[in-house]
C-alpha cells in the first residue's frame, strides 16, 4: 500500500477516486430514490461527446465533458417536463444519440481512438495534475450543493407532488440535481470510465437499501460502500495491472451481493 502511494500518479488517482466515490454515492442516493438511475448512463455518454470534441479540437477533455454533460442534463429535464414522453425513453434516445455522435467525431479524427478508450473504461494513469484541480473545484461545488439541498432532494424523491404543494421549488431543484449529476458523471470518466460510472452511482445505494435503515444511515452506508470499492478496486488495479473502472465496479458489485445475502429474508 505504502509502495503504491509513493507514486505521484497513484496519490492523484486516490484523491480523485475518493472524492468521486463520495460524490457519486451521495448524488446516486437521490437519483435511485427518484427512479432515475438510467440518467447517469445517458449523461456519461453525453460526456463522451464532450471528450470526443475536445480530443479533436485540442481542448481539455474534462472541461468540455462537464459542459456537454450539463447541456444534455438540461435537455433531458426539459423534454421530461415539456412533452408527454416516458422518462426512460428520453434517456434511451439520448444515450444512443450521444454515443453515435461521439463515435462519428472520433472516427473523423481517427488517431485519437486510444485516448478515447481510456475514457470508456477509466485509466488511473491518465489523471493529470490539471485534472485533479478540475475534479476538486467542480467536485466541491457539487458536494456543497448536494448537502445544502439534501432535505429538499429527499422530499422530492419521496413525493414530487407533495413537495410541490408544500412550497418547495421542485422544477428548479430538479434542474439543479441533474446539473450536479452531470458534473459528477463528467468528472468521473477519467477514473471510472463512461461505461461504468452508472454502477458507482447506483449500486452503493441499492446495496445500502438492503439494510432497511433511515435516510441518513442509508446515505452513510452508500458512501462507505463506494469509498471502500474505490480503495480496494484501485489497489487491485495497481498490483494486478487491471483497468481501474472495471475493478472498482466488481468491488461494489461484490458488496451488493454480500448485502443481499446478509439481509436475505
DSSP per-residue string spanning 78-122: HHHHHS---HHHHHHHHHHHHHHHHHHHHHHTGGGHHHHHHHHH-
Considering only 57, 100, 141, 162, the residue that binds another protein (CB under 8 A) is: 162
User: What are the backbone angles phi and psi of residue 203, rounded to the nearest 5°?
Assistant: -65, -40
- Over the window 60 to 99, marking each residue x when it contacts another protein by CB under 8 A and - when it does not, the resulting string is ----------------------------------------
Considering only 78, 108, 159, 172, the residue that binds another protein (CB under 8 A) is: 159
C-alpha cell belonging to residue 69: 454533460
- Over the window 132 to 151, marking each residue x when it contacts another protein by CB under 8 A and - when it does not, the resulting string is ----------------x--x
Residue in 71, 44, 50 with CA at minimum distance from that of residue 185: 44
Question: In angstroms, what CA-CA distances link 124 with 72, 139, 247?
Answer: 26, 17, 12
Please give the residues from 207 up to 226 whose contact with another protein meets the rule CB under 8 A: 208-209, 212-215, 217-218
Q: What minimum distance in Å lies between the beta carbon of 205 and another protein? A: 9
At 167 the three-state DSSP class reads coil
154/147 Cα distance (integer angstroms): 11
Q: Which stretch binds another protein (CB under 8 A): 89-97, 116-124, 163-171, 236-244?
A: 163-171
Question: What residue ranges bind another protein (CB under 8 A)?
Answer: 33, 148, 151-152, 154-155, 158-159, 161-168, 208-209, 212-215, 217-218
Amino acid at each position: 500500500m505504502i509502495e503504491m502511494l509513493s507514486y505521484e500518479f497513484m496519490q492523484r488517482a486516490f484523491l480523485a477516486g475518493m472524492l468521486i466515490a463520495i460524490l457519486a454515492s451521495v448524488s446516486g442516493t437521490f437519483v435511485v430514490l427518484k427512479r432515475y438511475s438510467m440518467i447517469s448512463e445517458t449523461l456519461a455518454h453525453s460526456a463522451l461527446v464532450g471528450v470526443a470534441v475536445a480530443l479533436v479540437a485540442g481542448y481539455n477533455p474534462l472541461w468540455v465533458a462537464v459542459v456537454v454533460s450539463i447541456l444534455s442534463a438540461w435537455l433531458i429535464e426539459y423534454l421530461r417536463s415539456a412533452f408527454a414522453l416516458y422518462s426512460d425513453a428520453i434517456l434511451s434516445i439520448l444515450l444512443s444519440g450521444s454515443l453515435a455522435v461521439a463515435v462519428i467525431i472520433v472516427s473523423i479524427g481517427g488517431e485519437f481512438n486510444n485516448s478515447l478508450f481510456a475514457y470508456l473504461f477509466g485509466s488511473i494513469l491518465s489523471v493529470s495534475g490539471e485534472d485533479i484541480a478540475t475534479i476538486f473545484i467542480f467536485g466541491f461545488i457539487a458536494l456543497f450543493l448536494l448537502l445544502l439541498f439534501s432535505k429538499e432532494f429527499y422530499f422530492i424523491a419521496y413525493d414530487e407532488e407533495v413537495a410541490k404543494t408544500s412550497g418547495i421549488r421542485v422544477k428548479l431543484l430538479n434542474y439543479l440535481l441533474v446539473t450536479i449529476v452531470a458534473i459528477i458523471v463528467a468528472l468521473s470518466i477519467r477514473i471510472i470510465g463512461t461505461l461504468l460510472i452508472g454502477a458507482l452511482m447506483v449500486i452503493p445505494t441499492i446495496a445500502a437499501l438492503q439494510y432497511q435503515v433511515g435516510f441518513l444511515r442509508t446515505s452513510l452506508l452508500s458512501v462507505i460502500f463506494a469509498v471502500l470499492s474505490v480503495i480496494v478496486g484501485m489497489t487491485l488495479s495497481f498490483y494486478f495491472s487491471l483497468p481501474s473502472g472495471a475493478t472498482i465496479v466488481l468491488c461494489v458489485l461484490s458488496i451488493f451481493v454480500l448485502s443481499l445475502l446478509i439481509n436475505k429474508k
